[in-house]
Amino acid sequence: MFFLLAALLLMLTTAAGQPSKQYITVYAEPDHADWVYTCGQPAQFTLYAVKENVRMPLTEIQYSYGPEKLKAEKSGSVTTDKNGVARIKVPGRKVPGFTTVNVSVTYEGKRYTGMTNIGFDPDKIAPTTSLPDDFTQFWENAKAQAAKVPMLTRVRHAPEESDDRVDVYYVRIQSYRVGNYVYGVLSVPKTEGRKPAILRLPGAAVRRFSGIDPLAYEGFVVLNIGVHGIPVDQDPEMYRQLENGAMSGYVLKGIENRDTYYYKRSYLGCVRAVDYLCSREDVDTSRIACYGGSQGGMLSIVTAALDKRISALFAYFPAFCDVTGYYYGRSGGWPHLFIDRSDPLIEQKVAVSKYYDVVNFARFLSQPGFYAWGFNDIVCCPSSTFSAYNVITAPKTLCVARDTGHWLYPWQTERALRWLKEQFKM
> What are the pLDDT digits (tens) for 139-148?
999 999 999 9
Task: Note whether 80 and 48 are within 8 A (CB).
Answer: yes
Q: Known catalytic residue: 294?
A: yes
Q: Known catalytic residue: 377?
A: yes
Q: What is the pTM of this model?
A: 0.94
The span from the CA of 398 to the CA of 416, in Å, is: 10
Q: What is the SS3 assignment for 236? A: helix
Angle, CA 284 vertex, CA 356 and CA 292 arms, to 5°: 35
Question: Strand runs (DSSP E) across 261-413, as ranges?
Answer: 283-293, 312-316, 369-373, 396-400
Task: Note whether 183 and 232 are within 8 A (CB).
Answer: yes
Class at the top of the CATH hierarchy for domain 127-423 = alpha beta
What pLDDT score was predicted for residue 153?
97
Q: List the chain residues with pLDDT less than 70.
A: 1-18
What pLDDT score was predicted for residue 13?
46
Task: Note whether 350 and 132 are within 8 A (CB).
Answer: no
Q: How far is CA 272 from the centre of its chain?
A: 21
What pLDDT score was predicted for residue 98?
98
Catalytic residue among 167, 266, 336, 406: 406
Catalytic residue among 213, 307, 357, 377: 377
The span from the CA of 314 to the CA of 73, in Å, is: 36
Residue spans per domain, the chain: 22-124, 127-423
Task: Note whether 380 and 98 are within 8 A (CB).
Answer: no
Same fold, 22-124 and 127-423: no
What pLDDT score was predicted for residue 16?
52
What pLDDT score was predicted for residue 15?
46
The span from the CA of 379 to the CA of 319, in Å, is: 8
CATH hierarchy code of domain 22-124: 2.60.40.1930
Catalytic residue among 175, 187, 266, 294: 294
Q: Known catalytic residue: 259?
A: no
